[in-house]
């Protein structure tokens, strides 16, 4: 999951639980919680949950004004413990978990959580490999790479690569 997808999922969760985001930028959000309290955060987005070492590093640079907010697809047990103790704030997008200042906010409409978008297959379609497989299946005898290349209208190097794959 890309960081931009994690961020957009986090903003959708905030809206769903009634937390407003009146101002901010990519690395600092000012939030208004449902009870009216204001919360200033330093946002750290990661595609994977941060390790205990990374979390310790984030917490050793205290900011008296802004709390650390970790936005990630899922939360580890260590991250959940820190969030429950109020040391960090967490948004775990895939789990629908939001914890601010030690208080958990429940997503009321669990079935409307968007599924994780699946990334499309990268690269070009293996047309040569598929054509080569058909040619080998249909020919009753062994063929040289040069002859297969002529049949398929590609180079011998393309045939060699397709055979390796």
pLDDT at 110 exceeding the cut of 50: no
> Between 4 and 76, where is the model more confident?
76
The pair of three-digit structure tokens given for residue 59, joined into one six-digit string: 């917490």
> Which band of pLDDT confidence, cut at 50, 70 and 90, is reported for residue 111?
very low
Around Cβ 90, how many Cβ atoms within 10 Å? 22
How large is the average pLDDT for residues 10-30?
Answer: 88
- Residue 121 has a pLDDT of 65
* pLDDT attached to residue 90: 95
User: What average pLDDT does this structure show over 114-127?
Assistant: 66
Angstrom distance (rounded) from CA 64 to CA 43 = 15
Instruction: Report the pLDDT averaged over residues 1-25.
Output: 86
Is the full-model pTM beyond 0.75? no
Residue 72 structure tokens: 């990630």
Percent share of the chain, pLDDT over 90: 35
SS3 17: helix
With a cut of 50, say whether residue 119 has pLDDT above it: yes
């Amino acid at each position: 999951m890309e960081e931009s997808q994690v961020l957009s999922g986090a903003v959708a969760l905030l809206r769903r639980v009634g937390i407003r985001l009146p101002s901010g930028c990519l690395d600092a959000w000012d939030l208004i919680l449902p009870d009216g309290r204001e919360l200033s955060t330093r946002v750290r987005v990661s595609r994977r949950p941060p390790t205990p070492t990374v979390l310790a590093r984030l917490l050793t640079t205290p900011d008296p004004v802004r709390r650390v907010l970790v936005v990630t697809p899922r939360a580890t047990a260590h991250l959940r413990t820190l969030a429950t103790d109020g040391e960090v704030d967490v948004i775990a997008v895939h789990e629908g978990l939001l914890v601010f200042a030690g208080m958990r906010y429940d997503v009321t409409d669990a079935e409307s959580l968007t599924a994780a978008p699946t990334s499309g297959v990268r690269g070009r379609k293996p047309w040569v490999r598929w054509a080569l497989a058909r040619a080998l299946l249909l020919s009753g005898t062994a063929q040289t790479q040069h002859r297969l290349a002529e049949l398929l209208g590609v180079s011998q190097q393309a045939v060699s690569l397709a055979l390796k794959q």
